[in-house]
Chains A and B, each alone.
Chain A
Amino acid sequence: MPNATLIALIPLLPLAGFLLLGLFGRKYFKKSSGIIGTILLLASTVLALYTAYEYFFVYGKVAGSYQEIIAFNYTWLEFSKGVSIDMGILLDPISVMMLVVVTFVSLMVHIYSLGYMKGEERFPTYYSFLALFTFSMLGLVISSNLFQIYIFWELVGVSSFLLIGYYYNKPSAVAACKKAFIVTRFADLGFLIGILILSYSSGTLDFNTMIDTLTSSGSTQAKAAASTFLGASALTWGAALVFIGGAGKSAMFPLHIWLPDAMEGPTPVSALIHAATMVVAGVFLVARLFPVFSITTPGVLEIVGWVGAVSAIIAAIIACTQTDIKRVLAYSTMSQIGFMMFALGVSGYGGEAGLGYTASMFHLFTHAMFKALLFLGAGAVIHYVHSNDMRDMGGLRKFMPITHITFLIACLAIAGIPPFAGFFSKEEILLAAYHNNTAIYYIALFTSGLTAFYMFRLYFSIFWNKTPSPPGEGRGEAHHSEGGFSMMMPLIVLAIGAIAAGFIPFGHFVTSDGTRLESHFDLQFSILPVALGLAGIFLAMWLYLKQNERPGKLTASVYGFYKTAYNKFYIDEIYLFITKKILFNLIGRPAAWFDRNVVDGMINFTGNTTAKVSEGIKKVQSGKVQSYAIYFLLGVIGLAVLFIYAWK
C-alpha cells in the first residue's frame, strides 16, 4: 500500500521551499537560494519516481487493471452531508505519470535556471515562485476532489501570473501577466459553474464517487443529472463548462491569446509552465473526468475534439509566420496541446476505443520532454544572442554545438520523425483519429506536416541561414561559451528523454480504464505522416538553409493570407474591442456614472429639497406680531372646524 507521508512530501517539499525562500530568501539566502530550491526539488523528484515505481510495479495493479487509490484524504471544508472540499491524494496512472513529468521537468528547469538567472537581483524570489508553482501543479495532479483541483488550478494560475510578471517593471511583462490571469480567470468562471452543476447533480465533489454516481445509469443522481436545460442535460452543461476551464488553461482556441504574450516571462519559466506542465492541465482535467465526458449526450467530447483540432491547425499556421522564436514555440505548444485535446475528443471509454486517451497522455508525456528541451535550447540561444528575433540569428551551430544538437533532436521529435519520441505518440493519435473522425484525421495530418515545416524553419534560421557575423555584432561580448554546465546538463538529459521516451510501452500503463492496451503499428499507416513530415522539413531547408529571396517571394505571393496569419488572425484585436469598448465603455463607465449621478443624486436631491423648502417657508416668520396672532386664530379655527365637521 502507498505510503501517504512520502507522497504528501512530494508537493510539500516545494511548498517548504516557497515559504523558506519567500519569507527569508531576500535576507539570508541571497546566493544560496537556487541550490536550496534545487535540492528540495531533487528530493521530491526522487520521491515521485519512487512512487511511480511502487505504483506501476508493486501495488498499483490489481486483477490486471490499475486501481484508483485514495492514499490520503482530509475533509477541508464541509458544505453539507457528503458535499465537502477534501484535500486528498488520488493515485492512478495519469496522476502518477504527471507527478513524474512535473517534478522531472521542474527539476531540469531549476538546474537550468541556476545558470540562466545567475546575478538576477530577485534571485530568491524567482526560486520561491518556481517552488510555489511546482507545489501547486503537484497538488493539482494528485487532487482527489473536484474542488481541490479547482483550488490548485487557481494557485497554478497565480504562480504563473507571478512568474510571467517576474520582470515587474517591464510594462509589456505586466500587461502579459494581467492578460494571462484574466483570460484564464474568465475560463475558470466556466469551470466554477461546471463544478457547481456537477456537484449538485452528483451530490458530491469527490472524483471517484462523482464518476460512479453519474456513470452508473439508473442512480437517482444520474436521473437528476439527465434533467435537461436549454436542450442539453445538466450533465452536459456541467462537463462543457468544466471543459471551458480546461480550454482556458490549455490555451485552446479561442482562449489561447494569453499564451504567446506569456513568453514575456523568463525563458525557463516558459519551458516549465507554458510548455511542459501548466498548459497541459486542461488536458489532464478532461482526462481526469473522462468517464463523465464520455457519457454526456450530446457528446461534449465532440466539442473537445473539434476545439483541439481547430486550435492545432490555427496555431500551426500562425507559427509559420512568427519571427520571435519563443512565440513560434508558444504557438507550436498550442498546436501540440490541440493534438492531445482532439486525441481525447476522438477517444472512447475503455478497451480499444480508449486508444485516443492513451495516445493523448502519451503525447503529453513526450511533448513535455521535447518542448521543454526546445524552450531551454531557445533560452540558451537568447542568452547568447540577447535577442528573441530569429532575424538576428543564424549560423550559430559553430558557436553552440550542444545546443545545436539537442535542438535538432527536439525538432525531429516534434516533427514526428522516427525513432524520436514524438513519432510514436503522434502515430497513436493519428491512428485514433483515423478510426473515429476522418475530418479531424486529415486536419491532424496536414498540421503535422506544418509542424515539421515551421519547426525546421526555426531550426535552420537559428543555426544555419546567415553566415555567422563576426563576434561583437548582434551578440554580447560577455560570453563566447554557450552557457555553463548547469545550462547544458538539462539539455542533454532532456534530449535523451526526447529520444528514449517513445519506446515506453505506454499503453501498458496509462489507459482510460486502467486495463492494459497493446499499441500496434502498421507501417503503411505511418508512411503518410512521416512522408509529410519529411516534406515539411525539406521545404523548410529549401527556403531557409541558405539566405535567399525565396521566402520573400513566397510571402509576397500569398501576402493577404500571410498578413492575416502574421497578425494571429486579429483575435487579439477582437478581444481588445470586447473588453475596452464593451466592458469598460458600455458597462463600466455607465455604471460608475449612474452611481455618482443618479443614485447618489437622489440622496443629495432629498437633502437639497429640504434646504429649499426651509428657505421657502421662512416668510411665515414675518416678525409682525399681528400676523402671528392671525396664525394663532387660524390654528384655533382650523382645529375647531376640523374636529367639529371632519371627524364627526
Chain B
Amino acid sequence: MLNDFLILMKSELVITLIIFILLFIKIGKGMKNENLLPLLQVLLLVNFIAGFFFNKNGHLFGDMFYTNELIVFEKNILNLGVYLISLLCADWLKKTPHLPEFFMLMLSALLGMFFMISSGNLLMFYLALELASIPVAAMANFDLEKKRSSEGAMKMIFSSAFSSGILLFGISLIYGATGTISFAELPGQLDGSAFQILAFAMLIGAFAFKLSIVPFHLWTADVYEGSPIATTSFLSVISKGSIAFVFIAALYIPFQKMFETWYLMLVILAVITMIIGNLFALRQQNIKRFLAFSSIAQVGFILVGMSGYPDGTTAVVYFILIYVFSNLAAFGVASVISEHSGKENIDDYKGLYKTNPFLCWILTLALFSLAGIPPTAGFFGKLFLISSGAAKGAYWFVTVAALNMIISLYYYLRVVRAMFMDKNEQPVEKIKTNSTVKFALILCAAAIVLVGLLSWIYDYIQSLMN
C-alpha cells in the first residue's frame, strides 16, 4: 500500500518536496534570488526528468486518485512548462522580492493540477481545482505596487469563486440525481434527464470558465494583462493545458453517456469561442492582452479537436504539447522586451528587427506556430485538431474552423509586420538577453520546428491511449 502510494504519487510527492525545500529556505536565513533561481531551475529540471522514470499504472484511495501513461505524459508536459517558465521569466523573477513565495504558490498550483488530472472523483476534482486556482489568484497579485495587478487578482479570485460556486451546485445536483461522485460509477447512473443536463451545464460552465471558453472567458484578458508576465504565461499555458486534459478526460470517460449533448455543446461553444476570440484579438494593442485573446481562439480549436470523440484525445494532447512551446516562446520574448524596455504594446515592436533580430525570429516562429503555418509544429497540431473535428463529417463546422485560421493569421501577421516592415524612429534598443533565457528560447524554437516534423511523437502519444 505505502509502496504503491510512493510510486503512483511520485510526481506529486516530488513537487511537495520542492515546496518544502523552499519553505525551509524561507524560514531559514533565506537566499539571494541570484542563487535561489538557478537552484530552483535545477530542481525543476530534475523534477521534469524524474517524471519519465518509475511510472506505474494504478489507483489509490478507492479510485479517488488514479494514474496511467497518458496522465504521466501530461504531467511531464506541465513540468516542462513550469521549467521553461522558470527559465524564460528569469529577468522578472530575479527582480521580484518574494521569489520563494512565488514558486511555492506556483508549485502548489501545479500540485493541484496534478491531482486534478489524476482525480477519479468529483470531490477530489473539486479540491484539486481549488488548489490549482486559489494560489494563481495570489500569483496574479505579485506586482504588489501595480494597480492593475491587484485589480486582475481581484477579478480572478472573485470570478473563480463564483464559478466554483456554480460548479459545486452542479456537483450537488449530480450527487442528488445519481447518488455518486466517483467517475467510475457515474456512467452507470447517467441517463441524460433534464435534471442531469442542468447539472451538467453547470459543470461545463466551470470547465469553460477555467478554459476561458466564450462566454465564460471574460476574466481572462483582464487577468492576463494585469498580472506579471510569469503568472500570465503560467495561466495561459499550464493551467489551460491541465484543465483541457481534465476536461477531455471527464467528457470521454464519466460523461460519455451524454455524448449527443456535449458534442453539440462543444460545437456551439467552439464556433463562438473561435469567432469571438479572433474578433477581440484583431484590435488589441497590449501584447499580453493580444495573446490572451489569441489563446482563447486556440481553445476554440482545442474544442474542435475534443468534439472528435473518441479519437480526439491524441490530437488535443499533441496540440497542447506544441501550444506549450509556441505560447511560452511568445510570452518569453514579450517578457524579455517588457522587462528591459517596459514596452508591452504591439506598436512598440515596430522596427524591432533592426535591433533584435534574434528575438524577432523566435517570436515570428512562435506566432506562425500559433497560426498554424508550416513547417512549424503548430501546423500539424491544428490540422489534426481540425481533422478529428471533421471525423463526424460536419463540413460547415470544419469550414468555419478553417476560415477562422485566416482571421487569426491576420492578427498574427500584424505583429510580424510591426517587427519586420514598419518604420520606427526609436525602436526598442538592443537587448542583451541573458543566457538562460536565450537557451530556453532556442529550446522552444527547436521544439516548434521539430515536434511537428518528428512524426513519431504523435505516434507515441497515440500509443499511450491504450
Is A–B contact present in the complex under a CB 8 A cutoff? yes
Q: Write the residues of chain A forming the contact surface with B, with a CB cutoff of 8 angstroms.
A: 610-611, 613-615, 617-618, 620-621, 623, 625, 627-629, 631-637, 639-640, 642-644, 647-648
Which among A621, A635, A647 is the interface contact of B216 at CB below 8 angstroms? A635
Residue ID in chain A nearest B194 by CB atoms: A644
Considering the complex of A and B, which 4 residue pairs feature the smallest CB-CB distances, nearest first? A640-B201, A614-B279, A628-B218, A636-B205
> With contacts defined as CB atoms under 8 Å apart, how many contacts are there between chain A and chain B in the complex?
79
Inter-chain CA distance A83–B277, complex, in Å, is 61
B215 on the A face (CB < 8 A): yes
Q: Are B221 and A621 in contact (CB under 8 A)?
A: yes
Dominant secondary structure of chain B at its interface with chain A: helix
B407 on the A face (CB < 8 A): yes
Inter-chain CA distance A618–B293, complex, in Å, is 12
Inter-chain CA distance A623–B201, complex, in Å, is 25
Q: Are B155 and A634 in contact (CB under 8 A)?
A: no
Q: Are B283 and A614 in contact (CB under 8 A)?
A: yes
Q: Are A635 and B159 in contact (CB under 8 A)?
A: no
Residue ID in chain B nearest A626 by CB atoms: B158
Inter-chain CA distance A292–B155, complex, in Å, is 92
Q: Write the residues of chain B forming the contact surface with A, with a CB cutoff of 8 angstroms.
A: 154-155, 158-159, 162-163, 166, 194, 197-198, 201-202, 204-205, 208-209, 215-216, 218-219, 221-222, 260-261, 264-265, 268, 276, 279-280, 282-283, 407
Which among A618, A633, A637, A642 is the interface contact of B280 at CB below 8 angstroms? A618
Inter-chain CA distance A369–B260, complex, in Å, is 94
A638 to chain B, nearest CB (A): 8
Inter-chain CA distance A647–B261, complex, in Å, is 8
Inter-chain CA distance A195–B189, complex, in Å, is 81
Q: Are B159 and A625 in contact (CB under 8 A)?
A: yes
With known contacts A615-B283, A643-B264, A634–B158 Cβ distance under 8 A = no
Q: Are B194 and A648 in contact (CB under 8 A)?
A: yes
Which among B197, B208, B215 is the interface contact of A634 at CB below 8 angstroms? B215
Inter-chain CA distance A636–B208, complex, in Å, is 10
Q: Are B264 and A631 in contact (CB under 8 A)?
A: no
Residues of B within 8 A of A648 (CB): 194
Q: Are A644 and B198 in contact (CB under 8 A)?
A: yes
Residue ID in chain B nearest A628 by CB atoms: B218
Q: Are B163 and A632 in contact (CB under 8 A)?
A: yes
Q: Are A617 and B218 in contact (CB under 8 A)?
A: no
| 29 pairs, CB–CB < 8 Å, chain A vs chain B | A610-B407, A611-B282, A614-B279, A614-B282, A618-B283, A620-B218, A621-B218, A623-B222, A625-B158, A628-B155, A632-B159, A632-B162, A632-B166, A632-B205, A632-B209, A632-B215, A635-B208, A636-B166, A636-B201, A636-B202, A639-B201, A639-B265, A642-B268, A643-B264, A643-B265, A644-B197, A644-B198, A647-B260, A647-B261
Residues of B within 8 A of A639 (CB): 201, 204-205, 265
Which among A618, A635, A636, A643 is the interface contact of B261 at CB below 8 angstroms? A643
Inter-chain CA distance A54–B452, complex, in Å, is 77
Residue ID in chain B nearest A636 by CB atoms: B205
Q: Are B205 and A635 in contact (CB under 8 A)?
A: yes
A341 to chain B, nearest CB (A): 62
New contact pairs (10) apart from A621-B222, A632-B205, CB-CB < 8 Å: A611-B282, A613-B279, A621-B218, A632-B163, A632-B215, A639-B201, A643-B265, A644-B194, A647-B260, A647-B264
B354 to chain A, nearest CB (A): 28
Q: Are A635 and B215 in contact (CB under 8 A)?
A: yes
Q: Are B279 and A625 in contact (CB under 8 A)?
A: no
Residue ID in chain A nearest B155 by CB atoms: A625
B153 to chain A, nearest CB (A): 11
Inter-chain CA distance A634–B279, complex, in Å, is 21
Q: Are A640 and B198 in contact (CB under 8 A)?
A: yes
A639 to chain B, nearest CB (A): 4
Residue ID in chain A nearest B279 by CB atoms: A614
B406 to chain A, nearest CB (A): 10
Residue ID in chain A nearest B205 by CB atoms: A636
Inter-chain CA distance A631–B209, complex, in Å, is 11
A505 to chain B, nearest CB (A): 80
Q: Are B197 and A640 in contact (CB under 8 A)?
A: yes
With known contacts A643-B264, A644-B197, A648-B194, A631–B218 Cβ distance under 8 A = yes
Residues of B within 8 A of A637 (CB): 201
Inter-chain CA distance A637–B205, complex, in Å, is 9
Inter-chain CA distance A633–B170, complex, in Å, is 13
Residues of B within 8 A of A623 (CB): 222
Residues of B within 8 A of A629 (CB): 159, 162
Q: Are B283 and A611 in contact (CB under 8 A)?
A: yes
Inter-chain CA distance A248–B162, complex, in Å, is 87
Inter-chain CA distance A620–B158, complex, in Å, is 18
Inter-chain CA distance A621–B154, complex, in Å, is 16
Residues of B within 8 A of A633 (CB): 166
Inter-chain CA distance A639–B407, complex, in Å, is 27
Residues of A within 8 A of B215 (CB): 631-632, 634-635
Residue ID in chain B nearest A637 by CB atoms: B201
Residues of A within 8 A of B265 (CB): 639, 643
A454 to chain B, nearest CB (A): 69
A567 to chain B, nearest CB (A): 58
Q: Are A631 and B222 in contact (CB under 8 A)?
A: no
Residues of A within 8 A of B282 (CB): 610-611, 614
Residues of B within 8 A of A634 (CB): 215
Residues of A within 8 A of B407 (CB): 610
Inter-chain CA distance A517–B216, complex, in Å, is 101
With known contacts A623-B222, A643-B265, A632–B280 Cβ distance under 8 A = no
Which among A611, A614, A628, A635 is the interface contact of B219 at CB below 8 angstroms? A628
